[in-house]
Amino acid sequence: MSIVAIVGRPNVGKSTFFNRLIQRREAIVDSVSGVTRDRHYGKTDWNGKEFSVIDTGGYVKGSDDVFEEQIDKQVELAIDEADAIIFMVDVESGVTGMDEDVATLLRRQSKPVFLAINKVDNAMREENAVEFYSLGLGDYYTIASISGSGTGDLLDALVEALPEKEEVEERILPRFAVVGRPNAGKSSFINALIGEERYIVTDIAGTTRDSIDTKYNRFGFEFNLVDTAGIRRKAKVKEDLEFYSVMRSVRAIEHCDVCLVVLDATRGFDGQVQNIFWLAERNKKGIVILVNKWDLVEKENKTMREYEKMIRQEMEPFTDVPIVFISALTKQRVFKAIETAVKVFENRTKRIKTSVLNDYMLPVIEATPPPATKGKYIKIKYCMQLPTPHPQFAFFCNLPQYVKDPYRRFIENKLREEFDFEGVPVAVYFRKK
């Protein structure tokens, strides 16, 4: 599939245009300049031709801002990835020095570049657009990204210039969401894993504001990795931007298959990390705990064992979760983390044959039946796995209302012992025969 990058200086309306193209509010749009920091991907089609779109951060040359140098790198990477480029400028401010910097960068490209002059919503502004010929990029297209005016002509020309690519039927890949509180090292972990600076990384908490997908296909593993903004406590979510970011992170958890919960080893499995963990558990997602920055912890003989014991105590009663100690900075165990996540995904999608399940569970139940309640004996005759995306089991009996939680947990533990559901919440139901 062809790729189109939208580039330009800050605050010219790139994200608004991006959202219009993909027809949903995916990129954050705000009146604050510099909201988009990472490359943001979406898919759209025009005249029957599908293509991917990359929304980039605003390009600013020579800024002292700690983020700008990283944003500029991201813009240049997006340009390298793209088959065609939409260069967006703003008719209200006219040609600026930053526009000229971007134009200089784009004139060196052999790829088709489409100059889109945004916010042209009346005849007077059409006349003002003429000055953009000075950028030396040839003809331009006048648009208004908020209303959609003029975008049709731009997209007609764009899809005409896109190369014909052999279409391969897309498979639905597993989605692994990398979640955690701000500044735990989520983006650093993904950068270490994929071997490129796909995400902006700084020491400032909250650098990642969007949830972004990256396709991973190495060493026999293939899945989508989702980097998310750090999730803060509600009391600390003050800015609108941060509110959007937290909501997008929560949505990433809801729509993934496995959550890689990254925590900072120097801070521990604190209350906020526990909230994220239980959010993933309530949504019945596969879970892997990644203890990042392990290289910063002073170690003795049993440090790792004691740290793991502390985490499992906080996770009770759901303790059957893999814990991997990593360092995104030194790449220590980052590939083991992915191997573990793939195994958890396999556990989550595992199907147990009904005959195999009954052959194992019915003797266990006969040896340890549910305790009698009010003089009534519970007889479990049959069990099966339900056809759901995550492991759920139904046990059919004469008096399901008398089965208590301790026995339910006993059954769950026996299922885990025999069939290996490590990292996956298991639901057990008792139903009337």
| 232 labelled ligand-binding | no
Tell me the backbone φ, ψ of residue 214, rounded to 5 degrees: -135, 130
Please answer whether residues 159 and 49 qualify as being in contact, where contact means their C-beta atoms are separated by less than 8 angstroms. yes
How many angstroms separate the first and last alpha carbons of the chain? 52
| 328 labelled ligand-binding | no
| 11 labelled ligand-binding | yes
| 174 labelled ligand-binding | no
| 185 labelled ligand-binding | yes
Q: Is there a common fold for 175-349 and 354-432?
A: no
Please answer whether residues 393 and 386 qualify as being in contact, where contact means their C-beta atoms are separated by less than 8 angstroms. yes
| 398 labelled ligand-binding | no
| 294 labelled ligand-binding | yes
| 271 labelled ligand-binding | no
> Computed over its alpha carbons, how large is the radius of gyration of the chain?
26
| 301 labelled ligand-binding | no
| 228 labelled ligand-binding | yes
| 65 labelled ligand-binding | no
Q: Which of 107-121, 204-218, 237-251 has the lowest mean pLDDT?
A: 237-251
| 57 labelled ligand-binding | yes
| Strands of the sheet with 427-432, listed across from one edge | 380-385, 392-397, 427-432
**CATH architecture under which domain 175-349 falls:** 3-Layer(aba) Sandwich (3.40)
User: What is the band of 198 on the pLDDT scale with cuts at 50, 70, 90?
Assistant: very low
Q: What percent of the chain has pLDDT over 70?
A: 79
Instruction: For the chain, give every domain's residue range.
Output: 3-161, 175-349, 354-432
CATH 2.30.30.30 fits 3-161, yes or no: no
**pTM score > 0.85 for this model?**
no
Token output for 137: 């990029």
Picking from 317, 318, 296, the residue whose alpha carbon sits closest to that of residue 307 is 296
Picking from 196, 268, 245, 267, the residue whose alpha carbon sits closest to that of residue 225 is 196
Query: What's the pLDDT score for residue 221?
Result: 76
Picking from 1, 10, 4, the residue whose alpha carbon sits closest to that of residue 112 is 4
From the CB of residue 131, how many other CB atoms can be counted at a distance below 10 Å? 12
pLDDT tens-place string over residues 305-319: 999 999 999 988 888
pLDDT tens-place string over residues 37-52: 445 667 788 888 888 8
Please answer whether residues 25 and 19 qualify as being in contact, where contact means their C-beta atoms are separated by less than 8 angstroms. yes
Query: What's the pLDDT score for residue 417?
Result: 92
| 181 labelled ligand-binding | yes
Please answer whether residues 346 and 374 qualify as being in contact, where contact means their C-beta atoms are separated by less than 8 angstroms. no
Query: What's the pLDDT score for residue 243?
Result: 38
Query: Residue 422: is it exposed, middle or buried by C-beta count within 10 angstroms (0-12/13-18/19+)?
Result: middle
How far apart CA 332 and CA 325 sit, in angstroms, is: 8
pLDDT tens-place string over residues 123-146: 888 888 999 999 998 899 999 988
**CATH architecture under which domain 354-432 falls:** 2-Layer Sandwich (3.30)
User: What is the band of 414 on the pLDDT scale with cuts at 50, 70, 90?
Assistant: very high
| 217 labelled ligand-binding | no
User: What is the band of 62 on the pLDDT scale with cuts at 50, 70, 90?
Assistant: low
How far apart CA 107 and CA 96 sit, in angstroms, is: 16
| 295 labelled ligand-binding | yes
Residue type, 333: R
Beta strands in 273-322 (DSSP E): 286-292
| 183 labelled ligand-binding | yes
Beta-sheet pairing, 380-385 with 49-55? unpaired
pLDDT at 224 over 90: no
| 180 labelled ligand-binding | yes
| 58 labelled ligand-binding | yes
| 5 labelled ligand-binding | no
| 55 labelled ligand-binding | yes
Give residue for tokens 């219009």.
20
| 230 labelled ligand-binding | yes
Q: Per-residue pLDDT averaged across 163-192, rounded?
A: 74
pLDDT at 201 over 50: no
| 119 labelled ligand-binding | yes
How far apart CA 2 and CA 365 sit, in angstroms, is: 57
| 15 labelled ligand-binding | yes
pLDDT tens-place string over residues 70-83: 555 667 777 877 88
Query: What's the pLDDT score for residue 351?
Result: 94
Please answer whether residues 198 and 247 qualify as being in contact, where contact means their C-beta atoms are separated by less than 8 angstroms. no
User: What is the band of 239 on the pLDDT scale with cuts at 50, 70, 90?
Assistant: very low
| 56 labelled ligand-binding | yes
From the CB of residue 15, how many other CB atoms can be counted at a distance below 10 Å? 25
Task: Name 218's bridge partners.
Answer: 221
| 39 labelled ligand-binding | no
